[in-house]
Each structure stands twice: as C-alpha cells, then as structure tokens.
Amino acid sequence: MTTLDINQVRSCFPSLASGFIYADNAGGSQTTQGVIDRIVDYLSNTNVQMGGEYPVGLLSSQRVAEGSVTAAELFNAASVDEVGFGPSTTMMFENFARALENDIHPGDEFIISYEHEANNGPWKRLAERRKAVLKYWQPTPVSTDNPYSFAYNIEELLPLVSSRTRLVAISACSNILGSLIPVEEAVKALRQRAKEQGARKVEVSVDCVAYAPHRKMDVQKWDIDYCVFSLYKVYGIHNAAAYVRLAAMQTSLTSGIAHHFMKDEFHKLQPGGQGYELAYAATGVVPYLKSLTPENDLAASFDAIANYEQEILAPLLVFLTDAKQVERGVRLVGTSEINLSRVPTISFFVIGQNAIKSKDIIGIRHGHFYAYSLVDNIRPKLDVDDGLVRISLVHYNTVEEVERIVDVLREALA
C-alpha cells in the first residue's frame, strides 16, 4: 500500500508555509503551486480571445482545450465533448435545469436528497415551473446511542421511485455528515426499480463537491447523466467542472440558454466564456494528484489519500465521541465509525445544561453550510442559523495539526 509523503504534499501548497491550520477545506481547499503558475502564465503570455488564427490566439485555444481534457480525466468521462466549466457548481446545475425545461412534463417526479442546495435548489425551481412533484430521500438514524447519527439508506430510496420518476439528484458525499453514498450501487438499484415501475426516462444528477477532494470519480461506472464539482475544493481555483452524458446533452437539454447559434455540445450550456485562465489552470490539478504516488496514477493517488485521511480523522473523531465529551453534551452529526465509508469532514454541536452556541466553540466556520434543508430537518431541532461546527480536513493536514485542534476543543469544552 502506497503511503503519502506529507512533506512532499505540503511543499506543493505555498500557503501552508505560514503555519496557519486550514481546517475548513470543505468550504475551499488551498491551491497548488502548479495551478497558481498556470494562471500567471496564461495571463502573462496568452491572455487573448480564443479563436484567433494568429500564434498567440492558437495557443490560447489549445490551453483552454487542455482544461477540458483534465476535466474529462477527473470525471472519467467518455469524451471531452461531455465536460465544460462554469463559475460555480450552483450555476452549472441551474444551467442544466434551465436547459432541461422542455423535457419535463406536469406530474413528472423528482427525487432529491437533503443535501447542499447547489444540487437541490435548481431542481426545486424547475419542478415549480413545470408542475413536477418533489420527493425527498431523507437520511435516517443509524445509532440508538446518538439520535443525531444519520446516514442515507438505499432501501429508503427505492420506495420513492415510481412510473413518474424523471430525475434523481443526490450527493456522492454529504458536506455535513461526511458520509459517502455508494453511487454505483444506488444508481443500479434505482434504475432497476424504475424499469420495474415502467418509468419512461430517469436521469441521475450527482453533486461531487464534497466527494472529489477525497475519492476518484467515475461517471461511466456510476451510470449517471449529470455531475459537477468545484475546482477550488480540489486544490484548484474558483470555478466548477461539469459533466453531461452525451445522450442527455442531445435529447434532454434542448432548451437554449446560450447564444442561438451555439449548439455544439457543451457550448450550449455555457452562456459567455468559461474563464480561460481558470480552465487552463485546472490542468495543474491532475499532475499534482498523480505526483503523490510512484505509480503516477489517479486511482493509486486517491487510494493513498483515502488511507492517509483515516489517520487524521481518528484523533478528532475519538475525542468528540469519547464518553466524557458525550456527557458534556457533544453530539456528532453523522456516523462515528473510522473507516473508508466516510471522509474527514466532521460536524457537531453542544447541547445540555451547559450548551454552547456553535459560533462560540472554535474559531472556524459554523452554520448550515448551504445544506439548509438537512440541518433544518435534524430532530430534536437545532437553530439552523447557528447550526453546527464543521471541521473539514484533507490530505495536506497533519496529525500534529489535528492534535492542536483537539487541544483547542478540549479547552473550549472544559
């Protein structure tokens, strides 16, 4: 089993030299030097409009096209024609929903999970516009000891599927619970159920924002139609990469949202440019990830990342679930097991006679983290605005940093 060289990892991120502990990585990771260099290089040497037939224009076009090659590799898409870029995950899902408008009929049913609004809000609004029916796949309690220990159960998803099911929108990883959804297994089961029910067409939309920094995506293996993740949470910069299965592009996304003459594949989903320097900067992400293991292979690198992240997850999870902290009123939201079915994103709050507002526990983010419906539906009910404390680690965090975080928490909870 390949292990990460943490010193090599950290040397790739100039911001880490400050000594500051970055533990809100689900909100945005740090950026590799290779990505930064590409932004500077593009703006310094090829900052012209694409499409020009002169040398700099040709190089600019080539560099932006290389961004799509990178996105296709990260998604494991079948073709670069199935991928593109946009300003954010939320905007790309909204673009999909707008382009899908003509293919949705009154009475069609959407199933969505209680997760980030990026992959919920656009479908909710589309359902309202087209008089479709919304159904919710809710996480269910998995522990008798902690009523706030939730997980998504595929057996709870399948009864929601009917002959009218048209779209299923889920997250590959919860940005609150930290738990991974077995996408391949879930999609296979729901497609079989939809076939048995006689559904005319079922498409699946997957939010990979909280998944992509920790695990390798595979849209072909998953058999899904739409997928988006944010580059700035995968060691890149502030834009999003999006995937649409070619069949869905050609037969489902028929409502024009770009210039009327832009009908070639992904361009019809991109009103305006995709951010040239940002698309090119994305080409720095894959070389960084591959450099983490001698195999120079994405799958091997993500395996190494997953195994290392169990090490940095352990001290924090053990502390928060210790009997003394439970008696103090600490409640973890999500599962407490330390295994490969979760990532090191940990959410908790403090209740009881000496309850503490989430905003007062530690100098880090608190709230609902745009998974508003999930936090709002936790029972017993929380103040959704104060919400939860979330500590989110990635593979450039060290065990020593996690131990320092635990020390801060121990003092705050004393």
Query: Does the pLDDT of residue 252 top 70, yes or no?
Result: yes
Nearest Cα neighbor of 319 from 346, 293, 296 is: 346
Same domain flag for 102 and 217:
yes
Residue 108, amino acid: D
Same domain flag for 126 and 254:
yes
pLDDT in tens, 142-163: 887 888 898 999 999 999 999 9
| End-of-domain residue from the set 224, 257, 287 | 287
Number of domains in the chain: 2
Cβ pair 26, 394 in contact under 8 A: no
| End-of-domain residue from the set 287, 314, 347 | 287
Cβ pair 112, 369 in contact under 8 A: no
In three-state secondary structure terms, 207 is strand
Average pLDDT over residues 43-63: 93
CB count, 10 Å around CB of 234?
A: 25
Q: Is residue 48 part of a domain?
A: no
Q: Is residue 170 part of a domain?
A: yes
Same domain flag for 271 and 324:
no
Query: Does the pLDDT of residue 134 top 80, yes or no?
Result: yes
Same domain flag for 304 and 157:
no
Determine which of 39-43, 73-77, 250-254 has the lowest per-residue pLDDT on average.
250-254
CATH number at residue 21: 3.90.1150.10
Q: Is residue 15 part of a domain?
A: yes
In three-state secondary structure terms, 140 is strand
Give pTM, 2 decimals: 0.95
User: How far is C-alpha 26 from the geometric centre of its chain's CA atoms?
Assistant: 8
Q: How far apart are CA 361 and CA 375, in angstroms?
A: 18
Q: Is residue 244 part of a domain?
A: yes
pLDDT in tens, 207-225: 999 999 999 999 999 999 9
Structure tokens at 202: 């079922």
Cβ pair 165, 109 in contact under 8 A: yes
Q: What is the pLDDT of residue 234?
A: 98
Same domain flag for 278 and 307:
no
Q: How far apart are CA 175 and CA 163, in angstroms?
A: 31
Strand ranges, E, within 139-188: 140-141, 150-151, 165-171
Same domain flag for 264 and 374:
no
Average pLDDT over residues 348-358: 93
Q: Is residue 245 part of a domain?
A: yes
Same domain flag for 210 and 129:
yes
pLDDT in tens, 385-407: 899 999 999 999 999 999 999 99
User: How far is C-alpha 328 from the geometric centre of its chain's CA atoms?
Assistant: 32
Query: Does the pLDDT of residue 74 top 90, yes or no?
Result: yes
pLDDT band of residue 124 (cuts 50, 70, 90) is very high
CATH number at residue 219: 3.40.640.10
Domain that holds residue 183: 55-287
Q: What is the pLDDT of residue 1?
A: 67
Same domain flag for 154 and 301:
no
Average pLDDT over residues 5-34: 97
Distances (CA, A) of 380 to 147, 150, 240, 349, 365: 8, 13, 35, 12, 22
Query: Does the pLDDT of residue 265 top 80, yes or no?
Result: no
Q: What percent of the chain has pLDDT over 90?
A: 82
Same domain flag for 64 and 113:
yes
Structure tokens at 13: 């991120």
Q: Is residue 41 part of a domain?
A: no
Same domain flag for 22 and 138:
no
Structure tokens at 134: 């919304």
| End-of-domain residue from the set 252, 287, 322 | 287
Q: How far apart are CA 175 and CA 327, in angstroms?
A: 26
Q: Is residue 338 part of a domain?
A: yes
Residues 6+ apart with CB under 8 A from 261: none
Same domain flag for 280 and 332:
no
Q: Is residue 292 part of a domain?
A: no
pLDDT in tens, 295-317: 999 999 999 999 999 999 999 99
Distances (CA, A) of 391 to 341, 394, 402: 17, 10, 10
Same domain flag for 106 and 227:
yes
Q: What are phi and psi of 151, to 5 degrees?
A: -155, 155
